[in-house]
């Protein structure tokens, strides 16, 4: 290991491989990559660095398959967003940012006046789901509903994660990051992505 910058880049590259090829979540992928490389926590890359490494890994190893897989996941997300329109759904994560592959989960954020309303709606539709805990902005715990959804375009089932947020959280939801990209988008924004992609 020569310096901190090199090891951080190595961690990002290894984490990217774990994310793309094994479907790991970003946090655990960074931790495992650092551990496997014997690197200190201080060397962990930021999410921007990991996203750059993920894009590079996809371009090199999955350029022929990833665009179609991403489109299939975005189309599935659009269907679920239309179904759950009353909860103001926004697509987030790799499917929104364009780095998803067939191993990626579809992350929808629901902005609800009543935190139990989405659960009740899913139960009323006869859908089974698990409830997990996620961390919202400012570190507050929120419910995440996890469903197993068929994705005909991929010929397999996909994990759909619905994070339940307060309606008030919607105000800051669309602020752009340092690259000018938003962390999430509503159905109209997703439809624009679908209409402008190949």
What pLDDT is recorded for position 1? 41
The per-residue pLDDT string of the chain (198 residues; one tens digit each, 9 = 90 and over) reads 445 679 999 999 999 999 999 999 999 999 999 999 999 988 999 999 999 999 999 999 999 999 999 999 999 999 999 999 999 999 999 999 999 999 999 999 999 988 899 999 999 999 999 999 998 877 889 999 999 999 999 999 999 999 999 887 777 666 676 667 788 999 999 999 999 975
Q: How far apart are CA 109 and CA 184, in angstroms?
A: 8
Cα dist. 141→42, 118, 132, 145, 167 in Å? 26, 17, 10, 13, 15
Overall pTM surpassing 0.85 (yes/no): yes
**CATH 3.30.460.10 segments of the chain:** 66-196
How far apart are the C-alpha atoms of 154 and 31, rounded to whole Å? 30
pLDDT at 183: 87
CA distance 59 to 63: 5
Largest CA distance in the chain: 58
CATH of 66-196, one of 3.40.50.300, 3.30.460.10, 3.40.50.720, 2.60.40.1180: 3.30.460.10
């Amino acid at each position: 290991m020569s310096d901190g910058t090199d090891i951080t880049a190595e961690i990002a590259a290894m984490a990217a491989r774990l994310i793309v090829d094994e479907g790991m979540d970003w946090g655990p992928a960074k931790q495992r990559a650092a551990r496997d490389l014997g690197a200190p926590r201080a060397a962990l890359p930021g999410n921007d660095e990991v996203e750059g490494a993920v894009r590079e890994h996809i371009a090199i190893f999955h350029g022929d398959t990833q665009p179609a897989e991403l489109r299939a996941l975005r189309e599935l997300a659009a269907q679920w967003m239309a179904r759950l329109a009353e909860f103001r759904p926004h697509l987030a994560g790799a499917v929104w940012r364009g780095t998803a592959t067939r191993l990626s989960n579809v992350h929808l954020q629901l902005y609800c006046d009543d935190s139990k309303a989405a659960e009740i709606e899913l139960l009323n539709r006869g859908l089974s789901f698990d409830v997990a805990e996620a961390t919202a902005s400012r570190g507050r715990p929120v419910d995440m509903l996890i469903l197993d959804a068929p994705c005909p375009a991929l010929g397999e089932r996909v994990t759909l994660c619905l994070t339940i947020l307060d309606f008030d959280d919607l105000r800051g939801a669309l602020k752009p990051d340092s690259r000018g990209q938003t962390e999430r988008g509503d159905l109209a924004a997703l439809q624009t992505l679908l209409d402008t992609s190949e």
